[in-house]
Structure 1
């Protein structure tokens, strides 16, 4: 079989080879819950397994001694951009983020590679892997192995392994009443990716998108050391509402979002208004919308941005009010200039309110 190409003889665009892109490829939350419930298999849960599947947290954590626990996670997806090097960078950043979201320090990674080898030039595949390697180098970790398959659609990601002191472990289920909610990155990656597929992104838009999605969530290591940080996660395919809802459910509390305070990529609202909204956004709302209360002032456009699937999105922090300054400082130290207080945690039935 010969390599496929566009009419001008160039290799096909990566985003043309996949039915979805980035974390928008995720199975919808409600469908995922049904699949897991239908499996009906009671797994082994040793006491050393500090974090498993019980609260849909970002990674598994297994304690090996008093001061060390292993953090293990995996993440992979299909292309969200056409540049192979950037695709590799985004996928690797996204995968390593889950270690930071537990308050851990990455140790090493394994590459997960599925490529249509008769469709994509080997040079293109090599550039994807090089992009991932560049991010691992920036994180100070090696890619120590992995697995490859010949796949119909291009897929790339990592298994990421890290370490955390169990005393500093941050889960998504520890929020307390009165906590402030802080978001580390602006929303809008999903609508930007939808606009990219329609060739509507200018070079500046693309640069903003890549900058956000390749910025490692390294503040997680600093946040882990703050006693006032009670819950931590990262915002990815289920959108801000979906991942905040996981905090609310796990903590048995209610979250309130202030719409006006939520940071957005510069043209996110414009692209959403033009109809560049992913199918995952609608699937997200259908999965958990019954647990979200929207004020009358929150329109369909706002809802689309709140459910927009984020690829390599920002950390979402629940912290004591007197820790807010330290949390924002941790973000600023690492170049996260858009970090902002976006809401709070209150007593009440588990769910999310947006006003």
Structure 2
């Protein structure tokens, strides 16, 4: 890159960052409510409960997994942004128990505003993650866009009899979380101050491949990944789809270093606040205050898997119980 390009802060060219720029969950559900096609026959997993990817049965005892994900810059470094966006897109395949096979790039770029040599770094980051995952990256589509955006459409394969579904949770099952929370508040601080948080970048660029394989090996049938709707938002969707209540052991939830300090200093995204507003009517918060709730609702980018079951190396952060008046309860 040129010296000028190296000085550009990509996060300053977007109104939001990463998965925090998603359309709020309540609004999104209202939009797609009349467009849902029920799963069944060859379409094993559709839009009914908000699973992470679509799954279609094909011949030979296999299933195709399809998903797409893209977002505005979550960090200033273009190569890291490319890696994070690609890792996040692949995560949707892992979240349903699949293995990615091929991905195509999705790119929006303000070509009259930002140097084109930054684009090469973004795409290089995505390509490197694809290679690490054993997933082909083959072309894609680009548009001239006022805001930079990048992600991937990913196709994978899965065993239709061994899927991780959002509606598979059963009372009496523990809940495991495979990555610490706190990415959202650290990224918001990065956007505001330019501080770089290597621990957040490492978390966001860690593939969920091993966690997905471990969940399947342990016999898990229910999972989702934790991204823009935060832990509480994604756990609410899982509990609602599964007909259970999720009890969260707040003291057991892991956080990245610096997350609480970022919250203390006010680095909370609008997406996080919308997440909390969405789940609050379904939440029994008990003795926990607003700051703890905001961390639990923190809008993650390329977060870990939330698994109904125990897997090696992942902390158990709660359990599922029979449906109570509130679908989420903090303990």
Verify the 8 A CA contact 2:5 2:115 in the aligned structure 1: no
> Which whole-Å CA distance do the structure 1 matches of 2:35 and 2:110 have between them?
34
TM superposition shift of 1:314? 0.5
| Aligned residue in 2 for 1:168 | 162
Instruction: Tell me the distance in 1 between the aligned counterparts of 2:94 and 2:284.
Output: 30
1:203-227 CA deviation, whole Å, 9 max, x = no partner?
A: 5xx1101000000001202322332
Cα offsets for 1:152-189 (capped at 9, x unmatched): 00000001111000111110111111100000000001
Q: How does 1:129-168 map to 2 (within 5 A)?
A: 129-168=123-162
* 1:121 lines up with 2:101 in the alignment: no
Q: Does 1:256 align with 2:247?
A: yes
Name the SS for the 1:82 alignment partner. Answer: coil
Q: Normalising by structure 1, what TM-score?
A: 0.89
Q: Residues 38 and 48 of structure 2 are in contact (CA less than 8 Å); yes or no, is this contact kept in structure 1?
A: no
Structure-1 residue corresponding to 2:21: 25
Shift of 1:67: 2.0
Kindly indicate whether the alpha-carbon contact (under 8 Å) linking 1:75 and 1:94 is maintained by their aligned counterparts in 2.
yes
Give the structure 1 partner of residue 227 of structure 2.
236
> Unmatched 5+ residue regions in structure 1?
1-7, 333-338
Contact 1:233/1:315 (CA < 8 Å) preserved in 2?
yes
Across the aligned residues of Structure 1 and Structure 2, the Cα RMSD in angstroms comes to 1.7
Contact 1:29 1:288 survives alignment (8 Å): no
1:253-292 equivalences in 2 (<5 Å): 253-292=244-283
Higher mean C-alpha displacement, 10-19 vs 64-73:
10-19
Count, aligned residues? 327
Bigger shift: residues 17-26 or 343-352: 343-352
Q: Aligned partners of 1:10, 1:66: CA distance in 2, in Å?
A: 50
Inter-partner Cα distance in structure 1 for 2:300 and 2:259: 12
TM-score by length of 2: 0.95
**Deviation at 1:110?**
0.7
Whether contact under 8 Å (2:62, 2:157) holds in the other structure is yes
Structure 2 residue aligned with 1:4: none
2-structure distance, mates of 1:12, 1:220: 36
Q: Deviations over 1:278-326 (max 9, x none)?
A: 1111111122210111012x1111011011000000000002xxxx3xx
Q: How does 1:30-49 map to 2 (within 5 A)?
A: 30-37=26-33, 40-41=34-35, 43=37, 47-49=41-43
